[in-house]
Amino acid sequence: MAYETLLYEVQEGVAILTLNRPDVLNAFNEQMFQELQEALRTVERDEAVRVVIVTGAGRGFCAGQDLAEMQARYVQPAEAMSIGEHLRSRYNPLILRIRNTEKPFIAAINGVAAGAGCSLALACDLRVMAETATFVFNAFAKIGLIPDSGSTWFLPHLVGYGRAFEAATLIDRLEARRALEWGLVNAVVPPEQVLPTAREWAVRLRELPGRSVGWLKRALQRAATFTLEQSLEYEAHLQEVAARTPEHRERVEAFLKRRGG
């Protein structure tokens, strides 16, 4: 499928998904949702894709919902469509797809992320951020909405309630330096290093046995709602399966051989 609002390329097992509406800082519109859905289906199905990088074209990462389209489609018409339904049918499946796909996602945050653009970044497994980029979590509250697309869940899980509340209300521009200090991102680099860093991480992830990375992604996510007992049991269950893979056997053998064992 030829995309208009996305750029999609796969190089040596790494898919780069670039949101491509730079004039509006890559805000989500209906077409982008359709295309994202298709691209993520491709990512899931294509065994050659091992890691996915999500980034933005131009100076922004993603400015969240396209407000002009929202105004036209949901607010102005006499029979306005339900925003709750819009979230359920567009944003929520996108976020869940990223979380549930057993392939790692890296957000390469090249520029400003606002509203649901922040949520998109937080749904990914790793984040590298340009030192000039910012998060605008209070974009939601500023237009009389609440953080959505998972931000009310991701934020407190990542930074704790107090900082989450502050980010969602008081902070107009959460700068990269503070995002790093809070643990919202894994690294902050000069803008020209954002994509190279994401690629470097992707190559390193690609070198790991894909199935174990997928399973550990699942287990780490379940931990958010599991008790220690449940996590221990889930680990035992997944490890039983992981230990039967040829990748596990090969890697242990290679390790022992290197040591002359």
Interface residues toward ligand LHQ, by CB under 6 A: 24-25, 27, 63-68, 70, 83, 86-87, 91, 112, 114-116, 136, 139-140, 143, 145, 148
User: Closest CB to ligand LHQ among 64 and 210?
Assistant: 64
Nearer to ligand LHQ, 75 or 254 (CB): 75
Distance CA 103, CA 213 (A): 7
What's the closest the beta carbon of residue 115 comes to ligand LHQ, in angstroms? 3
- Smallest distance, ligand LHQ to C-beta of residue 105, A: 19
Considering beta carbons, is residue 43 or 114 the nearer one to ligand LHQ?
114
Bridge-based pairing of strands 126-130 and 174-175 is unpaired
Can you give the C-alpha Rg of the chain in angstroms? Answer: 19
| Closest distance to ligand LHQ from the beta carbon of 212 (Å) | 34
Least distance (Å) between residue 91 CB and ligand LHQ: 6
Q: Measure the CA–CA gap between 203 and 223, rounded to whole angstroms.
A: 26
- Closer of 71 and 221 to ligand LHQ (Cβ): 71
Residue 229 is given by DSSP the state H
Burial code (b: 16+ CB inside 10 Å, e: under 16) for 122-142 equals bbbbbbbbbeebbbbbbbbee
Q: Burial of 26 by CB count in 10 Å (0-12 exposed, 13-18 middle, 19+ buried)?
A: buried
Cβ proximity to ligand LHQ, 152 vs 193, nearer residue: 152
The 8-class DSSP code of residue 192 comes to: G
Q: Which residue has the tokens 């050659």?
A: 48
Nearest approach in angstroms of CB 141 to ligand LHQ is 10
Let me know if 76 is exposed, middle or buried by CB neighbors in 10 A (0-12, 13-18, 19+): exposed
Output the smallest distance, CB 156 to ligand LHQ, in A. Answer: 18
| CB-nearer residue toward ligand LHQ: 148 or 202 | 148
